[in-house]
Amino acid sequence: MRTLSSFLSGTWQPGSTDRTTVLYNPATEEPLAQVGRATDLDKAVAYARNVGGPALRALSFGERGAILKQMAGLLHEHREELIAVSIASGGTTRGDAKFDIDGATGVLATYARLARDLGDKPWVVLDEPAALVRTSKIRAQHVLVPRHGLAIHINAFNFPAWGMIGKAAVSLLAGMPVLSKPGTSTSLLAHRIAELIVEAKLLPEGAFSLLMGSAGDLLDHVGPQDVIAFTGSAYTGALIRGHQKVVAENVRVNIEADSVNAVVAGPDLESDSELFDLFIRDCVTEITQKAGQKCTATRRILVPSKILDEVQEELVERLDEKANQTGNPATKGVRMGPLATKRQLQDAREGLKKLAKDAPIIRGNPERGEFIDVEDGKGYFLEPILLRATPEAARNPNAQFHQTEVFGPVSTLLPYDGSLAQAREIIGYGGGSLVTTVYSDDRKFVAGTVAELGPYLGRLVVADEKSAGGSFAPGCVFPQAQHGGPGRAGCGAELGGRLGLELYMQRTAIQGGASQLARLFGKPKSSD
């Protein structure tokens, strides 16, 4: 069987094959490849830091941006091949594969464009000089400079392309070399992208490394200039944050973890509106896209009690359609594929048992075994599942649908009284989420959500009748908007245009005479 090598210290290394992990096609259970255990991670980290770092920092923002643009072109050129790899190794439909791969290309293109505004100095100026005391010419001003360490990216299995490239684009533009570790089960796609990047020789030596398989002793080699950006479960996030070396060296850590995202139908939402259609469409997308294996997927649907039955009827009808289109994603007409691994399927079924204690299943059979073009009993399939809570259960902070993220095509309808206070209360029970969409034309309600729901969210989407035709589902993450969320969601923040660079750069205050600062950073726009 083919063994996928890591790219470390500037060479492809198969690693030790004494303990290998096999990757499977999740629709057919056919073995695809294996990965070994990488060794000499201390050397790989030092090489990336000491060879890749200086080489990358020697380039201007503009030059680094030009590389990102070429990388975007490279992914686009190989798009069809990458889609095929994604379908086979990730169980994605063609649409899901495009979402991941085009998403990666989009981040590269966005940060390539952003580079044009960053100037040709080795820093980014953040603000205007501020006088320290009225009678003095001494000023303080803040800049961002690239950190002199390594950006270690540990990614989840669900977005092998976007996860790896989205993080890499920002680090590389900031001037930090990257060591990327994909989630092992779907890492065939990340591996192919890495091969393309390495073969194309677009990046300076040492600027990009790939670690296949387990992280091993990687974190034992981190230092105070490094950054760890992690995406995955809250459990692993806590292990990483609490790792002895990470704590001892005060390594900067960004965690993107699980999230029980909610959407809110506003008190004014009516069934014969375009906004209602958008609401239903978004819910279906967020339940079924990537078979619900998205950190941003909608897990809780808040609906005013008065329209709950109508919402249920519409949603069930649309999910029935999707259930009949679930199967082998390589087959034409299939609209939803399997979960990525046997373990994910087991976890999702276990999680559903917990959820069902607090809200009965009203659509779907977690044990269903027959799907389109799939050998009976084969593959890791779960059909769309909808649950419905009572108003009392919805307001129980300990209810499992507030606590447990079932990483599959699963969501729960939660009735509420249509008030902002109750929406805030119920959303808050999730402990901090990545994203919420509010569907409403009630201006007072919408204005209230910013301050009332904002503290619990990384991103708030406000959808109204006027924008309904062009609105994007909440799970669609654009690089211009921040991705991350407070509390349970990991308390991290990535992307967000220029803001995203801050993760990989040091903010330093430069204090000195007004003329000195003007020479370094340009004349201030305002003179005080």
Q: List residues near ligand NAP by CB under 6 A.
A: 154-158, 181, 183-184, 214-215, 231-233, 236, 239-240, 256-259, 295, 405, 407, 434, 489-490
**Catalytic residue chosen out of the listed positions 283, 295, 476, 491:** 295
Nearer to ligand NAP, 233 or 273 (CB): 233
Nearer to ligand NAP, 239 or 518 (CB): 239
**Catalytic residue chosen out of the listed positions 256, 286, 383, 494:** 256
Nearer to ligand NAP, 304 or 486 (CB): 486
| DSSP classification of residue 307 | G
Give the burial string for 175-207 (b: 16+ CB within 10 Å, else e). bbbbbbbbbbbbbbbbbbbbbbbbeeebbbebb
Q: Which residue has the tokens 């976890």?
A: 347
CB of 32 to ligand NAP, least distance (A): 15
> How many degrees, rounded to 5, is the angle at CA 156 between CA 155 and CA 161?
70
User: CA-to-CA distance for 216 and 181, rounded, in angstroms?
Assistant: 11
Q: Is 295 a catalytic residue?
A: yes
Q: Is 405 a catalytic residue?
A: no
**For residue 14, how many other CB atoms are within 10 A of its CB?**
16
Nearer to ligand NAP, 239 or 362 (CB): 239
Closest among 220, 219, 193, 221 to 208, alpha carbons compared: 193
Nearer to ligand NAP, 232 or 304 (CB): 232
User: CA-to-CA distance for 6 and 13, rounded, in angstroms?
Assistant: 5
CB of 437 to ligand NAP, least distance (A): 17
Residue 326 bridge partners (DSSP): 336
Residues sharing a CB contact under 8 Å with residue 27, sequence separation 6 or more, in sequence order: 91, 327, 328, 329, 330, 337, 338, 374, 378, 379, 380, 381
227 and 212 Cβ atoms separated by less than 8 Å: no
Residue 138 corresponds to which tokens in the numbers above? 């001494």
CB of 197 to ligand NAP, least distance (A): 19
Kindly write down the DSSP assignment for every residue of 163-212, as one continuous string.
Answer: HHHHHHHHHHHHT--EEEE--GGGHHHHHHHHHHHHHHT-SPTTSEEE--
User: CA-to-CA distance for 410 and 294, rounded, in angstroms?
Assistant: 11
CB of 483 to ligand NAP, least distance (A): 6
Q: Which residue is nearest to ligand NAP (CB)?
A: 232
CA 302 → CA 285, 355, 363, 391, 395, distances in Å?
Answer: 16, 16, 17, 10, 11
CB of 155 to ligand NAP, least distance (A): 5
CB of 374 to ligand NAP, least distance (A): 23
User: CA-to-CA distance for 56 and 206, rounded, in angstroms?
Assistant: 9
Nearer to ligand NAP, 90 or 329 (CB): 90
CB of 220 to ligand NAP, least distance (A): 11
Nearer to ligand NAP, 96 or 256 (CB): 256
Active site residues: 256, 295
